[in-house]
Amino acid sequence: MAILNVTPDSFSDGGSIASVNDALCQVERFIAEGADIIDVGGESTRPGSSRVTVDEEIARVVPVVEAIAKRFDIPVSVDTSKADVAERSLELGAEIINDISGLRFDARIADVAAASKAGLVLMHSRGEFEAMHSQPPVDDIIAEVSKNFRTAIATAEGRGVASESIVLDVGIGFGKSPEQNLELLAKLDRLVADFPQYPMLVGTSRKSFIGKLLDGAPAEGRLSGSLATAAVAVWNGASIVRAHDVKETVEAVKLLDAIKGQL
Ligand code: 7PM
């Protein structure tokens, strides 16, 4: 899953023709590099960022989603926690909703996903939007994520989402200590075994826990760490990895798959 940011800090300005063209060029490259899904996000979830309005997010995301769906064959997922953004995106060609709140912010996302028979990623996170990255760590992160998965799955299925449409994600970097991010990767196999029906998605790409372990490496200096952590996630049963560096990640995952083939 290739990460396509359409926040103003990463692009010309949301919704403009220049930004849509930038996005299409990037998608063309991601596809050539082996991406299977394009994840379009218009709301930065960086520590300290505040929420954008529904209209703002729709203006950034929807023209890009529509343009990608028209021009390419690849499934588009939309990184949003707002049902209105999800609904417009699905109408214009998105096939997957990637909800970093796991239905905590807007459970109507499940209704919208069910009505369109869209894929739905339920990611674990803790706290309200502004406080997601400053949560006091819980004691047992594996138990916490597991409990949250059960709640989110029950909400989704209760609102009509087919179990085959659901993907789970441990939410690396969201309300976890650096050690807990590592623990989730080390013990991912247990969560995969506890939820065997649902594919597991993992996103470690360039995240700050990698920088912390590498003496403060900036985002551009986190490629090796991103690949090492993606490799562990795949080894421990992840079916999808979310990444900025598509070529390198696809190559790493190919090696992992080849090794797994020898089990
Ligand atoms: C700070 C923390 C800055 C996290 C940026 C981010 C995930 C996601 C994001 C993930 C799924 C980023 C993220 N992370 N969706 N959206 N899983 N499903 O690095 O791990 O892009 S935002």
Does residue 83 lie in a domain region? yes
pLDDT at 9: 65
Residue 43 pLDDT: 86
pLDDT of the residue at 167: 99
Which residue among 81, 132, 242 has the greatest number of ligand 1 atoms within 8 angstroms of its CB, and so is best to mutate?
Answer: 242
Give SS3 for 70. Answer: helix
Residue 173 lies in a domain: yes
Q: Is residue 262 part of a domain?
A: no
> How far from chain centre, in Å, is Cα 37?
11
Closest Cα to atom 21, ligand 1: which residue? Answer: 3
Cα–Cα distance between 152 and 159 in angstroms, integer? 11
Whether 51 is in a domain gets the answer: yes
Residue 37 near residue 74, CB atoms below 8 Å: yes
pLDDT of residue 87: 98
Output the CA 170–ligand 1 centroid distance in Å: 11
Among protein residues, the one whose CA lies closest to atom 3 of ligand 1: 46
Q: Identity (one letter) of the amino acid at 104?
A: R
Q: What pLDDT is attached to residue 75?
A: 98
Please check whether residue 42 lies inside any domain of the structure.
Answer: yes
Please give the tally of structural domains in the chain: 1
Is the pTM higher than 0.75? The answer reads: yes
The answer to the question of residue 246 being in a domain is yes
Q: Tell me the CATH number at 22.
A: 3.20.20.20
Query: Given this model, what pLDDT does residue 84 score?
Result: 98
| Burial status of residue 136 (CB atoms within 10 A of its CB: 0-12, 13-18, 19 or more) | exposed
Residue 263 lies in a domain: no
Q: Check residue 15 and give its pLDDT.
A: 59
Q: Give DSSP secondary structure letters for 16-52.
A: SHHHHHHHHHHHHHHHHTT-S-EEEE-S---TT--PP
What CA–CA distances, in Å, run from 194 to 78, 164, 168, 181, 190? Answer: 27, 16, 12, 18, 6
The residue segments making up the domain with residue 159 are 2-257
Nearest CA to ligand 1 atom 1: 46
Q: Using CA atoms of 13, 14, 18, 24 in order, give the dihedral in degrees to the nearest 10.
A: 140
- Among 38, 45, 96, 121, say which to mutate for ligand 1: greatest number of ligand atoms within 8 Å of CB: 45
| 126 belongs to the catalytic site | no
CA of 208 relative to ligand 1 center, distance in Å: 11
Residues with CB under 6 A from ligand 1: 3, 45-46, 79, 98, 100, 121, 123, 169, 171-173, 201, 203, 205, 207, 242
Residue 91 located in a structural domain: yes
Whether 207 is catalytic = yes
| CA pseudo-torsion sign 150, 156, 158, 162 | negative
- Say what the pLDDT of residue 138 is: 93
Annotate 248-259 with DSSP letters as a single string: HHHHHHHHHHHH
Cβ atoms of residues 77 and 119 within 8 Å: yes
pLDDT along the chain (263 residues), means of 10: 85 68 96 98 78 92 97 98 98 98 98 98 94 89 98 98 98 96 98 98 98 97 98 98 98 98 96
CA of 262 to the centre of ligand 1 (A): 32
Which H/E stretch holds residue 233? helix 223-235
* Planar angle of CA 215, 216, 218, nearest 5 degrees: 135
Q: Considering 104, 126, 206, 207, which one is annotated as catalytic?
A: 207
